[in-house]
């Protein structure tokens, strides 16, 4: 018999251990597939981030924990329950298959930062060892940056840390971060404890909703005493490079954001066609997947009703382990033709460390808080660690932490050498004149505007509008000089950014790419317009409103089909149409010049699916969020945007805040107006010269 276990966390490990004890090797082959070669002991992640233990202490190699079990560090791509086989990627890109007699799905859950705009780009998740290690490196780097900062405001920004979510992991990580930073200030000369801010943001009216209210209140008081700012009844609504925007309108500024809320099922679970509730796999009481006799689901990815209280099991390690043990015993019963047992477990209690050698605990009906709870917390987790080697390692680290200061060394995680993401809200400044060239940035989504002004408040001086696929930063990086323009987000903007050192490495290794970047920098129209200052100033002072053509008589709704849109286009006198949503906001454009793109996309559709074309929506074929200019812009902005994007026309919308289309602007009208103005200017000058000559003659 072969039992395949997918996952290598608390549930899977306990299942494999129990089964191995009950069924010996030739009788039962056990294969564990896990994406990493180790099991993560999540309760210690906060200690890793706070540098009170070494990272490897929180990760135990599976093959050393599971003698007699085949451990494969491979990602399972698909489970075929009908054919009783899995498909996995062995790293060579070739898909392999393995059949099973029983399969156990114990994939846990993954963090999902995209539930809040900007979190995925700017916040640290807190789920795997890498998250904790990266956070620790980053905290130390922030202190180093603060030490060298010359601007006092920037220094405070480096020393501001924000944690979103005050459940167990949020509270533990906030406590540890606070401890690490405040206890380390004595090694730095340019800042003090008072300069450090750690904020913990929580939506509810009390932290730690998992424990009794009195313990939550105790934890809050002690954390506040330790200097942590606990913000209750408040949601984080967006994150940017500068900090976190809150539901009450405030912005918490800070260079470190940790997001401990938001999980989603692992992709494998999402792809499994079985009964689910809130993304978790529904099981029968003995933990077999509903409707499948040889498939089991355990841990965070499963919704298992606890026969003890008839409630769904919480997603904790305590429950995952007990489910692992019980499910293995049930599988043994199945092989022996005996009856299986429903999952039944009385929770032992909860423990949470809050920093400063204090914790709160609810154990066996008792509530304990403070130092005693902290000793209990350390004792319980030391005992819970999966192997003796890890217990000794963590015990020594904790002993070291009591006697010596926390380790402030950091391995370089320099953003200049990395590919990163960034998110900006409308109105945020992305780049200021004089900023050193740090990134080469490509717009993944949204619109940004290039401002000529060095003063960020000069709203009228928009030079050009940048949209999806546009890039910037290349000119300053290639010329190794500071930026000389301001770039501001017009809508919410997502960027993909390449750090300056990585950019230089790529550009220097791939010369054709460097040349392309250099040519692109020259072609960017700011440089062109600098060569024609008179024409530039004419257009700069020409309001765009005077050049706008009225809206085409027909606007396309966003559910228009491709054939309907093509018919409308062929009847359109101007050959260009705008697509609007139900609120009359601009969502797309469709013109004769789009037809080659549409042909190319049709060619990509498999032949057997092309007969569905008549029912396909136009918006499936044209890109969303088209580039537009606003009535507030100048003719120069429109001219530059047209030139930069090689477009013959652009839609014009009411304002930056309101994307209702009001008309469109064409390149030829702008050029005509410029010629008219130049001619008028020459005539004016000639008549003035003539008048002056006549005056002199008299
Ligand atoms: C920061 C933090 C602190 C916590 N503290 C506590 C605590 O103090 N007490 C407590 O009881 N609980 C705690 N928890 C919750 C606890 O860690 C989880 O409930 C527990 O890990 C669930 O175990 P699991 O076996 O279901 O999943 P996990 O332990 O998450 O393991 C799932 C494994 O499956 C792997 N996997 C996923 N998909 C695939 C695939 N397709 N192929 C191969 N492998 C795959 C993953 O890489 C992962 O290794 C904490 C959680 C976090 C994040």
Ligand 1 centroid to residue 595 C-alpha, Å: 49
User: Is pLDDT at 292 greater than 70 in this prediction?
Assistant: yes
pLDDT in tens, 135-187: 999 999 999 999 988 889 999 999 999 999 999 999 999 999 999 999 999 99
pLDDT in tens, 94-129: 788 999 999 999 999 998 998 899 999 899 999 999
**What's the pLDDT score for residue 161?**
97
Mean pLDDT of 30-52: 93
Q: Are 300 and 319 in contact (CB under 8 A)?
A: no
- 451 has pLDDT over 90: no
Nearest CA to ligand 1 atom 51: 42
Ligand 1 atom at minimum distance from 319 CA: 11
| Confidence at residue 525, expressed as pLDDT on a 0 to 100 scale | 56
8 Å CB contact between 576 and 633:
no
| Ligand 1 center from residue 585 Cα (angstroms) | 43
Q: Look at residue 103 in the predicted model and tell me its pLDDT.
A: 97
Half-sphere exposure of 584 (CA within 13 A, CB side): 9
Q: How far is residue 529's CA from residue 533's CA, in Å, rounded to a whole number?
A: 6
> Tens digits of per-residue pLDDT, 185-242?
999 999 999 999 999 999 999 998 888 888 899 999 999 999 999 999 999 999 998 9
Q: Report how far ligand 1's centroid is from the alpha carbon of 347 (Å).
A: 18
The pair of structure tokens assigned to 558 is 């966003």
**Is residue 283 scored above 90 in pLDDT?**
yes
Least confident piece of the model among 53-57, 102-106, 672-676: 53-57
Q: For the residues 395-409, what does the mean pLDDT come to?
A: 82
**Contact present, 361 and 214 (Cβ < 8 Å):** no
Least confident of 275-284, 333-342, 624-633: 624-633
CA of 106 to the centre of ligand 1 (A): 9
More confident: 258 or 593: 258
Per DSSP, the residues of 541-560 read: TSBGGGGPEEPPS--EETT-
Instruction: Tell me the pLDDT of the chain averaged across its residues.
Output: 88
User: What beta strand segments (E) does 415-514 contain?
Assistant: 419-424, 429-431, 439-445, 448-451, 462-466, 471-472, 486-489, 493-499
The atom number, within ligand 1, closest to the CA of 33 reads: 43
Which pLDDT does position 454 carry in this prediction? Answer: 56
CA of 215 to the centre of ligand 1 (A): 25
User: Partners of 30 in the beta sheet?
Assistant: 3
Q: Is the pLDDT of residue 689 over 80?
A: no
Q: How far is CA 607 from CA 237, 514, 562, 620, in A?
A: 44, 40, 17, 17
Structure tokens at 263: 């999980």
- What is the mean pLDDT of the segment spanning 444-458? 73
631-666 confidence digits (pLDDT tens)? 988 898 898 888 888 788 899 999 878 889 999 999
User: Ligand 1 pocket by C-beta < 6 Å: which residues?
Assistant: 6-12, 33-36, 42-43, 45, 75-76, 106-108, 126-127, 168-169, 266, 268, 299-300, 315-318, 320
- Given a cut of 70, whether residue 582 has pLDDT beyond it is yes
Atom of ligand 1 nearest to the CA of 109: 30
Q: Which residue has the higher pLDDT, 553 or 186?
A: 186
Percentage of the residues of the chain whose pLDDT score is greater than 70: 96
For residue 297, the CA-to-ligand 1 centroid distance in Å is 14
- For residue 457, pLDDT beyond 60: no
Q: Is the alpha carbon torsion for 221, 225, 226, 230 positive or negative?
A: positive
Percentage, residues of the chain above pLDDT 90:
48
pLDDT of 455 higher than 60: no
Nearest by Cα to 650 from 629, 625, 674: 629
When pLDDT is cut at 50, 70 and 90, the band that residue 256 belongs to is very high
Say what the pTM is.
0.76
Nearest CA to ligand 1 atom 31: 9
Q: Give the ligand 1 atom nearest the CA of 127.
A: 53
Interval 484-538: pLDDT, tens: 788 999 888 999 999 888 888 888 788 777 777 777 766 665 667 777 888 888 8
Among 302-306, 438-442, 643-647, name the one with the lowest average pLDDT. 643-647
pLDDT at 212: 84
Q: Name the closest-CA residue to atom 44, ligand 1.
A: 34
């Amino acid at each position: 018999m072969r039992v395949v276990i997918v996952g290598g966390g608390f549930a899977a490990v306990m299942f494999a251990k129990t089964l191995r004890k009950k069924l010996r090797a030739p009788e039962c082959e056990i294969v564990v597939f896990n994406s990493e070669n180790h099991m993560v002991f999540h309760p210690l992640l906060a200690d890793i981030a706070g540098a009170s233990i070494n990272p490897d202490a929180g990760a135990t190699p599976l093959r050393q924990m599971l003698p007699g079990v085949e451990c494969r560090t491979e990602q399972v791509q698909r489970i075929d329950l009908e054919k009783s086989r899995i498909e996995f990627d062995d790293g060579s890109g070739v898909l392999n298959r393995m059949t099973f007699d029983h399969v156990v799905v114990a994939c846990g859950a993954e963090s999902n930062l995209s539930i809040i705009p900007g979190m995925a780009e700017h916040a640290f998740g807190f789920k795997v060892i890498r998250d904790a290690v990266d956070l620790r490196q980053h905290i130390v780097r922030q202190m180093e940056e603060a030490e060298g900062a010359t601007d006092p405001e920037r220094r405070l920004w480096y020393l501001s840390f924000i944690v979103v979510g005050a459940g167990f992991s949020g509270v533990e990580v906030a406590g540890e971060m606070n401890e690490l930073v405040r206890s380390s200030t004595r090694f730095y000369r340019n800042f003090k404890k008072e300069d450090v801010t750690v904020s913990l943001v929580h939506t509810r009216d009390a932290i730690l909703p998992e424990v009794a209210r009195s313990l939550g209140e105790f934890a809050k008081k002690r954390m506040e005493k330790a200097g942590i700012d606990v913000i209750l009844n408040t949601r984080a609504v967006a994150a940017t490079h500068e900090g976190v925007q809150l539901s009450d309108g405030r912005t918490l500024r800070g260079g470190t954001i940790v997001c401990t809320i938001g999980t989603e099922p692992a992709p494998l679970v999402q792809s499994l066609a079985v009964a689910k509730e809130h993304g978790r796999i529904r099981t029968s009481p003995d933990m077999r997947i509903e409707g499948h006799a040889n498939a089991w689901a355990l841990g965070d990815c499963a919704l298992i009703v606890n026969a003890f209280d008839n409630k769904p099991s919480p997603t904790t390690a305590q429950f995952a382990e007990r489910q692992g043990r019980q499910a293995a015993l049930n599988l043994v019963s199945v092989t022996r033709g005996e009856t299986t047992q429903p999952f039944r477990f009385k929770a032992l209690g909860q423990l949470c460390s809050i920093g400063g050698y204090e914790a709160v605990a609810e154990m066996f009906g008792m509530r304990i808080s403070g130092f005693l709870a902290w000793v209990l917390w350390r004792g319980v987790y030391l005992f819970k660690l999966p192997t003796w080697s890890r217990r000794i390692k963590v015990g020594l680290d904790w002993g070291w932490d009591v006697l010596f200061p926390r380790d402030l060394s950091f391995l370089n995680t320099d953003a200049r050498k990395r590919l990163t993401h960034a998110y900006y809200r409308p109105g945020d400044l992305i780049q200021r004149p004089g900023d050193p060239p740090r990134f080469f940035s490509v717009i993944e989504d949204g619109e940004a505007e290039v401002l000529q002004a060095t003063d960020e408040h000069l709203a009228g001086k928009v030079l050009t509008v940048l949209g999806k696929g546009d890039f910037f930063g290349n000119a300053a990086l290639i010329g190794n000089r500071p930026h000389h323009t301001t770039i501001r987000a017009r809508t919410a903007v997502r960027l993909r950014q390449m750090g300056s050192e990585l950019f230089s490495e790529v550009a220097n290794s791939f010369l054709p790419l460097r040349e392309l970047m250099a040519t692109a920098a020259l072609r960017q129209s700011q440089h062109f317009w600098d060569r024609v200052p008179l024409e530039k100033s004419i257009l700069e002072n020409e309001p765009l409103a005077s050049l706008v053509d009225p809206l085409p008589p027909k606007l396309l709704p966003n559910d228009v089909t491709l054939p309907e849109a093509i018919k409308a286009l062929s009847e359109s006198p101007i050959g260009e149409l705008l697509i609007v949503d139900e609120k009359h906001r601009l969502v797309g454009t469709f013109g004769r010049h789009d037809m080659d793109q549409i042909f190319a996309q049709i060619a990509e559709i498999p032949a057997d699916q092309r007969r569905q074309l008549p029912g396909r929506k136009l918006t499936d074929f044209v890109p969303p969020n088209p580039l537009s200019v606003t009535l507030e812009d100048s003719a120069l902005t429109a001219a530059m945007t047209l030139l930069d994007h090689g477009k013959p026309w652009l839609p014009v919308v009411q304002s930056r805040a309101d994307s209702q289309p009001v008309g469109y602007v064409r390149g030829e009208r702008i050029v005509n107006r410029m010629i008219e103005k130049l001619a008028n200017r020459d005539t004016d000058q000639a008549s003035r010269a003539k008048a002056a000559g006549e005056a002199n003659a008299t």
